[in-house]
Structure 1
Amino acid sequence: MHQLTSTEKKAATSLALVFSSRMLGLFMLLPVFAIYGADLVGFSPLWIGLAIGAYGFTQALLQIPMGWLSDKIGRHKVMLLGLALFAVGSVVAALADSVYMVTIGRVLQGAGAIAGAVLALAADLTREEQRPKVMAIIGMSIGLSFAAAMVLGPMIAARYGLSGVFWFTAGLALLAMLAVQLTPKAISKAPQRETLAVPALLATLVRSPQLSRLNLGILLLHFMLTALFIALPQQLVQLDFGSESHWRLYVPVLLLSFVLMVPMIIISVRKRKEVGFFRTALVLLLLAALLFWLAPLNLPGISLALLLFFTGFNYLEASLPALLSRLAPAGQKGTAMGLYSSAQFFGAFLGGLTGGLVASWFGLQAVFVLSALATLGWLLLTLGMQLPGKSERLSIDLTEKTEEESQTLLEHIAQLPGVLEATLVLTERRCYLKVEAGLFDYQQLKALS
């Protein structure tokens, strides 16, 4: 059974559409707001940052609670609620004549924090051995939505203005709601601890040094992304590079960055040089920030800096979730991913707020100095970075066994070659395993259980 079933394919397609359409709507503001928002009442560098990053604040705040709510009232209901909030926020922003109302609209957009519910439903609808494929499809759709946003944002804004971008995102939300209705209903729930955050585990994982490095890393990555688009669009306008043509720069740069990033990922995995390539990607981000700051203001210099930035950004964006999955303890992946997602969105908010303040006080160039300092800090954090061997996750249903039988089974399983961690959760009647890829014998587990 190495192929996706028709239900799994349908789930992967519809949920990728839901996830990507929503992220597309959020990303589209990045390349256009600093230019097309200039006519709004109250427009300033600070409010550019607040409006761009505001969605991150409510996303970070509500990401984990909305996932818990989906466990109580159902995944579909939470997804429809979140998309409705996103649509309302889009309409509020589309009708706004001040930067303050746009920011309120962005707060409402972010309140539709459905990432946890989407990923949990994807897990509910897929078999354990096929789950990584479906999650990868959804993950790839996010990268594609970012690339599409860099093209569609400037094109729509050039023709219909900033309000046109928000009306388009409202339409995307309605399209995503239709996709939710077409998504199969889950008959059974996947193991909760591998899909959603568990409140009792949050404090433990926050204190984990290795996981904290990754959470702070994704926070800084999205901090830099949001801050970049406070300054970059205005620099391009200063070069008399028309705002309607910005997509002509973003498209080739993004495509080339993907071409450069893929070999980095392949080589890092094959040669087991993940930490080295991780630091290389950070050096690319640092070089990009220094180029933006120190190089003469011209299109070739900006293009090179942007290429370096997105090559490093795309590598880290793709690598961090995989590293997190390897580091998260058995039975705690859902909690680890919940914290990670919250840190990611909070980074977008902080990047907008801090970048806007720095641009207001010290000018646009100071935003790039801020990014360079953030990257240097991140590089220092990697000095104590340690990665375990490649691992896989399993869960075993123990509903037919007594507590004593479950305890005995756990002791035997923990002794099997290749078992890194084994956790028994009696309240769920389930055993969670983290095993070393290539060393673990699945037949032995089958014979035991």
Structure 2
Amino acid sequence: MMNALERRSTAALSSIFALRMLGLFMIIPVFSIAGQSYQHATPVLIGLAVGIYGLSQAILQIPFSLWADRYNRKSLIIIGLLLFSLGGAIAALSESIYGVIIGRAIAGAGAVSAVVMALLSDVTREQQRTKAMAMMGMSIGLSFVVAFSLGPWLSAKVGISGLFWVTTIMGLVAILMLLMVPKTTRHHRNFNQDYLKQLAEVLKMGDLNRLHVSVFMLHLLLTAMFIYIPSQLIQYAGIPLAHHGWIYLPLLVISLFFAFPSIILAEKYRKMRGIFLTAIAAIIAGLVVLIFGNQSKYVLIFGMGLFFIAFNVMEALLPSWLSKVAPIQSKATAMGVNASGQFLGAFLGGTLGGQLIMLNNTAIGWSVLAAIAIIWLLICFGLAQPRYLSSIVLDLPEQQATDQWASQLLKIHGIEEVVIMAEQNVAYVKVDKREIDATARQALTHLCGKEVAF
């Protein structure tokens, strides 16, 4: 089970993620209409105002993540959230569509999604990582549904500029949530100071690239689906736009009952690859159902339900798997490339969804998305089962400098990383149990002053 520190940190970092995403998503269902009130607004510029956030996120995730492997992650998150809030304020004060575009671009420049995930991986033990990432993934899915339900209602109350002010407030509240997360100091071997070499190392790893393709495909399909599905819920299910949230929310809740057992099975019984491929197959199955039954209300909802279940499983497994296979010294960098793939997928998914609507043929539209998912499954068959490391919790030494102590720990065969939380007087030590022999156990006992249980 998670300890109190892990529960508190996971809740805080998931809330930061959710607050940012909620502020972003609330704009999407209303801006195509509300954006027409701005000076100089055209359909192209309105679309750019919506999409520029994701584009700037995709571009700047990698620089932020490269810095996060060298500098304090909490400080970088604060900078990102301040940019997010500043961009919201600029958009809120703007009367021209160009001001909104500038504000959205600045908000997107706070590209710290990967930094938040890297910090979460620092403050959670390996064996609890999937649970923590699952909570973060669920918070993203929940914020998506709540935003699509809340955005139209809140826009009617406070206007589009009021929505941007809400975005600003959420960014500032998120900074306060960061106070719940402990300060960490990371120690590991073979740190590479060259930015380009570090990025090249990450981009050469085949399984990492398959995970980057996976998050790209997942969010491309999700965004295209949410551009495409509302018109079908109206036309074939007879459900008005204002009530769509009442369809999304129950489906999300139901999906959690399937997602959590899948996550436990993947981690506890080391079935991550099998569950991962099954989730992609479930996405394909959901899309195939929509090809043949999109004109039936209940079949439409059933197909969406399959997609939601698989989506939530993938949202939990992807960051956890990424943290297992990424080089320790380049963890944030790998997550940055992954987050860039996520936002690029969302950006292109919105474009694709718009094109599919113009086809005026729902079966062909769902067939295109199903074909994309099948290609994704074929790419991911090459994935190897990840390494399953463990973390042990050690008390910090009373009469020895922690940096020197961490360096001595890293000399022990089988120990790969030490994360020190000085204020809590503990260290999380990542170990490969298969590599810990009698000599390593003896050295660890000597450093800790007592025998350490694995």
Q: Does 1:248 align with 2:243?
A: no
The aligned amino acid for 1:314 is N
Cα–Cα, structure 1 residues 436 and 355, in superposed 2: closer, same or farther, change >3 Å? farther
Task: Report the alpha carbon displacement of residue 95 of structure 1 after superposing the two structures with TM.
Answer: 5.9
Task: Report the alpha carbon displacement of residue 310 of structure 1 after superposing the two structures with TM.
Answer: 0.8
Name the SS of the counterpart of 1:190 in structure 2.
Answer: strand
Cα–Cα, structure 1 residues 321 and 444, in superposed 2: closer, same or farther, change >3 Å? farther
Q: Which residue of 1 aligns with 2:271?
A: 273
Distance 1:310 1:257 in 2: 6
Distance 2:18 2:204 in 1: 32
8 Å contact 2:53–2:105 — kept in the other structure?
Answer: yes
The aligned amino acid for 1:215 is H
Task: Report the alpha carbon displacement of residue 175 of structure 1 after superposing the two structures with TM.
Answer: 1.9
Q: 2:59 aligns with which of 58, 61, 78?
A: 61
Task: Report the alpha carbon displacement of residue 308 of structure 1 after superposing the two structures with TM.
Answer: 0.9
Mapping of 1:292-311 within 5 angstroms? 292-311=290-309
Task: Report the alpha carbon displacement of residue 438 of structure 1 after superposing the two structures with TM.
Answer: 10
The aligned amino acid for 2:187 is P
Could you report, residue by residue, the CA deviation over 1:225-251 in whole angstroms, capped at 9, with x for unpaired residues? 111121122322334422221111011
Q: Which residue of 2 aligns with 1:211?
A: 208
8 Å contact 2:27–2:151 — kept in the other structure?
Answer: no
Q: Which residue of 1 aligns with 2:423?
A: none
Q: Does 1:158 align with 2:156?
A: no
Mapping of 1:41-52 within 5 angstroms? 41-43=41-43, 48=47, 51-52=49-50
The aligned amino acid for 2:216 is L
The aligned amino acid for 2:235 is Q
Cα–Cα, structure 1 residues 98 and 307, in superposed 2: closer, same or farther, change >3 Å? farther
Aligned-pair identity (%): 31
Q: Does 1:285 align with 2:283?
A: yes
List gaps (5 residues or longer) in structure 2.
395-400, 419-428, 448-454
Name the SS of the counterpart of 2:390 in structure 1.
Answer: strand
Task: Report the alpha carbon displacement of residue 169 of structure 1 after superposing the two structures with TM.
Answer: 2.2
8 Å contact 1:227–1:351 — kept in the other structure?
Answer: yes
Distance 2:98 2:286 in 1: 32
Mapping of 1:318-337 within 5 angstroms? 318-337=316-335
Q: Which residue of 1 aligns with 2:425?
A: none
8 Å contact 1:194–1:334 — kept in the other structure?
Answer: no
8 Å contact 1:34–1:233 — kept in the other structure?
Answer: no
Cα–Cα, structure 1 residues 237 and 85, in superposed 2: closer, same or farther, change >3 Å? farther
Cα–Cα, structure 1 residues 315 and 10, in superposed 2: closer, same or farther, change >3 Å? closer
Select between 75-84 and 132-141 the one with higher mean Cα deviation: 132-141
8 Å contact 2:146–2:245 — kept in the other structure?
Answer: yes
Q: Which residue of 2 aligns with 1:429?
A: none
Task: Report the alpha carbon displacement of residue 270 of structure 1 after superposing the two structures with TM.
Answer: 4.6
Name the SS of the counterpart of 1:215 in structure 2.
Answer: helix
Could you report, residue by residue, the CA deviation over 1:103-135 in whole angstroms, capped at 9, with x for unpaired residues? 5443332211123444555577x5xx7587589
Count of residue pairs the alignment pairs up: 421
Q: 2:262 aligns with which of 241, 244, 264?
A: 264
Q: 1:384 aligns with which of 382, 385, 388?
A: 382
The aligned amino acid for 1:191 is H
Q: Does 1:144 align with 2:139?
A: yes
Q: Which residue of 2 aligns with 1:179?
A: 177
Distance 1:261 1:158 in 2: 30
Task: Report the alpha carbon displacement of residue 258 of structure 1 after superposing the two structures with TM.
Answer: 1.1
Task: Report the alpha carbon displacement of residue 327 of structure 1 after superposing the two structures with TM.
Answer: 2.3
Q: Which residue of 2 aligns with 1:428?
A: none
Name the SS of the counterpart of 1:384 in structure 2.
Answer: coil
Could you report, residue by residue, the CA deviation over 1:196-246 in whole angstroms, capped at 9, with x for unpaired residues? 997232112211111111111111111111111211223223344222211
Cα–Cα, structure 1 residues 70 and 159, in superposed 2: closer, same or farther, change >3 Å? closer
Distance 1:228 1:448 in 2: 57
8 Å contact 2:134–2:317 — kept in the other structure?
Answer: no
Name the SS of the counterpart of 2:43 in structure 1.
Answer: coil
8 Å contact 2:66–2:332 — kept in the other structure?
Answer: no
Distance 2:64 2:244 in 1: 36
Cα–Cα, structure 1 residues 445 and 140, in superposed 2: closer, same or farther, change >3 Å? farther
Q: 2:185 aligns with which of 182, 185, 189?
A: 189
8 Å contact 1:260–1:311 — kept in the other structure?
Answer: yes
The aligned amino acid for 1:339 is V
Task: Report the alpha carbon displacement of residue 423 of structure 1 after superposing the two structures with TM.
Answer: 9.4
Could you report, residue by residue, the CA deviation over 1:239-297 in whole angstroms, capped at 9, with x for unpaired residues? 44222211110111111111122222333445543333222211221122233344242
The two structures, once aligned, show a CA RMSD in angstroms of 4.2
Cα–Cα, structure 1 residues 106 and 359, in superposed 2: closer, same or farther, change >3 Å? farther
Distance 2:249 2:206 in 1: 38
Task: Report the alpha carbon displacement of residue 86 of structure 1 after superposing the two structures with TM.
Answer: 1.7
Q: Does 1:223 align with 2:216?
A: no
The aligned amino acid for 1:140 is M
8 Å contact 2:134–2:315 — kept in the other structure?
Answer: no
The aligned amino acid for 1:226 is T
Mapping of 1:60-99 within 5 angstroms? 60-69=58-67, 75=73, 77-94=75-92
Distance 2:13 2:360 in 1: 41
Cα–Cα, structure 1 residues 120 and 259, in superposed 2: closer, same or farther, change >3 Å? closer
Select between 290-299 and 16-25 the one with higher mean Cα deviation: 290-299
Could you report, residue by residue, the CA deviation over 1:315-372 in whole angstroms, capped at 9, with x for unpaired residues? 111112222233234544333223222222222222223433x237535735533321
Distance 1:193 1:100 in 2: 47
Q: Which residue of 2 aligns with 1:368?
A: 366
TM-score, scaled to structure 2 = 0.76
TM-score, scaled to structure 1 = 0.76
8 Å contact 1:83–1:174 — kept in the other structure?
Answer: yes
Q: 1:233 aligns with which of 230, 235, 245?
A: 230
